[in-house]
Structure 1
Amino acid sequence: MRSIRAAAAVVITISTLAGATACGGGSDSSGGGSNASPKTLTYWASNQGPNIPADKKILTPELKKFEQQTGIKVNLEVVPWADLLKRVLAATTSGQGPDVLNIGNTWSASLQATGALLPWNKANFDAIGGRDRFVEAAVASAGAAKQDPAAVPLYSLSYALYYNKKMFADAGIAKPPATWDELIADGRKISKNGTSGKWGLGAEGGNLSENIHQAFVLSKQHGADFFDASGKPTFTSPGAVAAVKQYVDLMGKDKIIAPGNAEYSQNQSLSDFSKGKTAMVLWQAAASTFASQGMKPEDWGAAPAPVVSGAPGQGKNVNSMVAGINMAVFKNTKNTKGALKFVKFMTSDDEQKILNKAYGAVPPVTAAQADPAFNVPGVKVLKDTLTTSAAPLPQVASESQFETTVGTAIKELWADAAAGKTITTASVKDKLTKAQQQMTQ
């Protein structure tokens, strides 16, 4: 688990730095680079697979392929999500970081505001084949509006509801729930008020990003948001408070989530699902994890995440945030040319098919989406959600601090629910008030 206070402190520090540097050395930001014949790159990859060894197994052959094509060796480090934001933020101020890295697309505007990342202007996009190769919605989630993006889309994701077919059949449930009321009713049939030894739904209360993603979607369904049009926090609006309460009530009031989930932070809910301990889980892309833990494709199904009523769509029927992983380059890398070559390789049509198949994600490169692998049921639901019913998290400079402060507030509420404390509108508003007070203006 990352140090929340340390991460928050770094966010506060960097939010005022317009020209922070990283990686030492010097190069222009137009793609020219400073070394004539670079031979190495350091790459921080986010943990996308079921574990770090799985990521290394997927990525290492591809990096070898890049080395064979270009003569550039890539030194890979797979960074756990619990540590990634803290390490990236520290790198933007210390100058000790990689040449190329993965970032969650929700952090793009925050990291863009530091000035530490290479801006993806027309020249840099042209160096990797052009901006028009990418789905525009994915590019739009790579930085603040009216600015050159801070990163390039690598994997596109959205949320789906995964369900265990056998557990549903055993409980007499004929189809996956489409609304929250249906999900709660189905979850209660399985959990039986916590007496069955199994649980209806899994969650990760210690995973700050996961907390934010679900609370954001629920806020949209309540007709609210966590920031106004000017970027000012509105954490205590009635809709935002109701959204957080609804999420935590799934454990405290509805009793379909195991109390131990309050401490989960790194794919533990997926492990419980794979072992038949929980019947449902809301997740971005889970097929590779299920397979690694012994589940067969026919053991589980995927459906759109729940809405209040009706079918998923825009407006109040948003059922996912626009999720995804972007590749960024530190502006002060000594190997800009090599970094651009590497991004071009990783976002090439062929590599997009290989990597997104491996992770069960959707390619943000349009041409790669035509592959039949991205139209199988487990992936198609993600693609359809991205197209029809997903909304981007606020592209504001304080987004990463929002994840830290509000994500922690929700984590604390999960802990209260797990301890048997009643979660009230007042107690939720109190936590969110404190979170809002911690935000820098």
Structure 2
Amino acid sequence: MAVAAVAALSVTGCAAATGNAPAVLGYAADRPPVTIDFWYMPAGGAVQDEAVVAETKAFHADHPNITVNPVRVVWEDALTRISTASTSGEGPDVTQLGTTWVGGFSALGALRPYTKAEIAAVGGQSAFAAASWSSSHLAGSSQTTAMPWLVDIRSLFYRTDVLAKAGLDPDTAFATWESFEATLAKIKADGGGVAPLAIGNQNTFGIIHNVAPFIWGAGGDLLDETGTHSRLAEPAAVDAVSYYQRLVSLYDDPAAMKLISSDVPDAFARGMGAVTIDNSQSIADFLANPDRAGLQAGWGTAPMPAGKAGRFGFLGGSNLAILKGARHPDAAFEWVRFLTSQKSQQRYAVNSGYFPARTEAVAGTRLATDPKYAAFREMLGHGKMYPSVPAWVTVETVIAKDFSELWHASGALPRAEVEATLTRTTADIDATLQDSTATGIGN
């Protein structure tokens, strides 16, 4: 449905949006009262919901003539709903966008570009993490269409009691691919009946976010530097996918495999699995709700294991976009300016557990000092984003479909079988990328 919705957008026209600069920057206090709709996507639990509501109240206190109506949209539905909203003209004024979606929606002219004056008003490009800013626009475009907001960097969560029972030292257990696999095998043998892994495999982005770091760690990549061809059939990528497929097939809890990614943190907190991969938002949730069985047994975090090409982690997150059809674009910009301010970024980051995209907002918060966040602070330096190409959403779906079949295989597959699957996947991706170019997407 999501792919069909995005594809439908291309029928409405593919020219890049030019946007209209507001006569006066922002929404002045003497203008009439308005209500703007804001769509946001929580990662799980009530922590982020509460944090969003808190920010809307703080914003309204500063801007009494603007009321923000926050609308919760689950990630699994968000792509389709935003796509439909973009074509119908009945969507929100401001929406949260996954960083991997910016290229596609920008190419389709669905987003209102930020003006140079607006970019300067939020502090300019230099105020944000370089990786986050790279996702603020379509690759190769000079138009900023999505303001960086949150950073999604991933690390390992583990049960301290299970590692202790198996006689494992967390400082070395997850250091490399070899030690990571040995750790999972040891937990399976001596972990007291707790499954080594808890990884969900029922939604697109979760499947890819977890395996991409291993592909990069092997020296491979998803697409080439031009963003026009897949590299998944190359030996490094085949090695990485074979390794990860073995881990999932041998060590993942069968019940976890049936979950979508956003349901895994709570399952882990309740005692499912000894190790999982997730972003820092789960730390805020775990600290706020520590009474679940898995958490009471003890838990910690660790950086992703290093491959022969180094240590890598998926770095994504969320940006803030004003839709081209926004009813109140000036008021919408005031909301974006508020959310990307240092004070809001610090409050929201601490309350939600995400890292702020604004670099100065980390200092002075628990994100900079709490040992639970240490692994994530380290992984920020090893994060890598997907390419901001228009067809990425479709590419992601192609990858997830084939990878899902590999993850659900009964037992570790021969490397040749994995290679055959990735060869097919590469052909499908290349066809998708060629089709997107032929239809004008991104022009």
**1:408 to partner: Cα distance:** 2.0
Q: In percent, how many aligned pairs have the same letter?
A: 26
Q: 359, 362, 383: which one pairs with 1:366?
A: 359
C-alpha distance in 2 between matches for 1:306 and 1:242 = 15
C-alpha distance in 2 between matches for 1:294 and 1:93 = 45
C-alpha distance in 2 between matches for 1:20 and 1:293 = 47
Whether the 8 Å CA contact 1:99–1:339 is kept in 2: the answer is yes
Choose 87-96 or 424-433, whichever is displaced more. Answer: 424-433
Alignment of 1:254-333 (within 5 A): 255-285=250-280, 286-291=282-287, 292=289, 294=291, 299-309=298-308, 316-333=309-326
What is the match of residue 175 of structure 2?
A: 178
Matched pairs, number: 419
Whether the 8 Å CA contact 2:162–2:192 is kept in 1: the answer is no
Alignment of 1:122-201 (within 5 A): 122-143=116-137, 144-175=139-170, 176-192=173-189, 197-201=193-197
**1:77 to partner: Cα distance:** 0.9
**1:12 to partner: Cα distance:** 2.9
C-alpha distance in 2 between matches for 1:322 and 1:421 = 29
Residues 1:425 and 2:406 aligned together: no
2:298 maps to amino acid: D
**1:356 to partner: Cα distance:** 0.5
Secondary structure at the counterpart of residue 322 of structure 1: strand
Whether the 8 Å CA contact 1:349–1:368 is kept in 2: the answer is yes
Deviations 1:356-404 (A, max 9, x none): 1112221221221111412222223323322x21112112111111121
What is the match of residue 20 of structure 2?
A: 28
Given the two structures, how large is their TM-score scaled by the length of structure 2? 0.86
Whether the 8 Å CA contact 1:104–1:326 is kept in 2: the answer is yes
Residues 1:251 and 2:248 aligned together: yes
Whether the 8 Å CA contact 1:10–1:90 is kept in 2: the answer is yes
C-alpha distance in 2 between matches for 1:245 and 1:38 = 57
1:189 maps to amino acid: K
Choose 203-212 or 28-37, whichever is displaced more. Answer: 28-37
C-alpha distance in 1 between matches for 2:87 and 2:265 = 35
Q: 101, 111, 131: which one pairs with 1:107?
A: 101
**1:124 to partner: Cα distance:** 1.8
Alignment of 1:49-88 (within 5 A): 50-51=44-45, 53-71=46-64, 72-88=66-82
1:62 maps to amino acid: E
C-alpha distance in 1 between matches for 2:130 and 2:102 = 15
1:263 maps to amino acid: K
C-alpha distance in 1 between matches for 2:165 and 2:389 = 46
C-alpha distance in 2 between matches for 1:98 and 1:33 = 20
Given the two structures, how large is their TM-score scaled by the length of structure 1? 0.86
Whether the 8 Å CA contact 2:316–2:385 is kept in 1: the answer is yes
C-alpha distance in 2 between matches for 1:149 and 1:256 = 43
What is the match of residue 312 of structure 1?
A: none
Residues 1:118 and 2:112 aligned together: yes
Q: How has the CA–CA distance of structure 1 residues 282 and 346 changed in structure 2, closer, same or farther, with 3 Å as cutoff?
A: same
**1:168 to partner: Cα distance:** 0.8
Whether the 8 Å CA contact 2:201–2:261 is kept in 1: the answer is no
Deviations 1:124-156 (A, max 9, x none): 212334333222321112222442222111111
Root mean square deviation of aligned Cα = 2.8
What is the match of residue 84 of structure 2?
A: 90
What is the match of residue 218 of structure 2?
A: 222
C-alpha distance in 2 between matches for 1:107 and 1:202 = 27
Secondary structure at the counterpart of residue 200 of structure 1: coil
What is the match of residue 439 of structure 2?
A: none
What is the match of residue 3 of structure 1?
A: none
Q: How has the CA–CA distance of structure 1 residues 192 and 31 changed in structure 2, closer, same or farther, with 3 Å as cutoff?
A: farther
C-alpha distance in 2 between matches for 1:13 and 1:236 = 30
Deviations 1:36-75 (A, max 9, x none): 5351100001113x33x44332221221221222121111
C-alpha distance in 1 between matches for 2:124 and 2:16 = 27
Q: 210, 219, 228: which one pairs with 1:232?
A: 228
**1:353 to partner: Cα distance:** 0.9
Whether the 8 Å CA contact 2:304–2:312 is kept in 1: the answer is yes
**1:271 to partner: Cα distance:** 2.4
2:117 maps to amino acid: A
C-alpha distance in 2 between matches for 1:161 and 1:281 = 6
Q: How has the CA–CA distance of structure 1 residues 102 and 410 changed in structure 2, closer, same or farther, with 3 Å as cutoff?
A: same
Q: 333, 345, 364: which one pairs with 1:340?
A: 333
**1:34 to partner: Cα distance:** 11
C-alpha distance in 2 between matches for 1:416 and 1:435 = 21
Choose 9-18 or 408-417, whichever is displaced more. Answer: 9-18
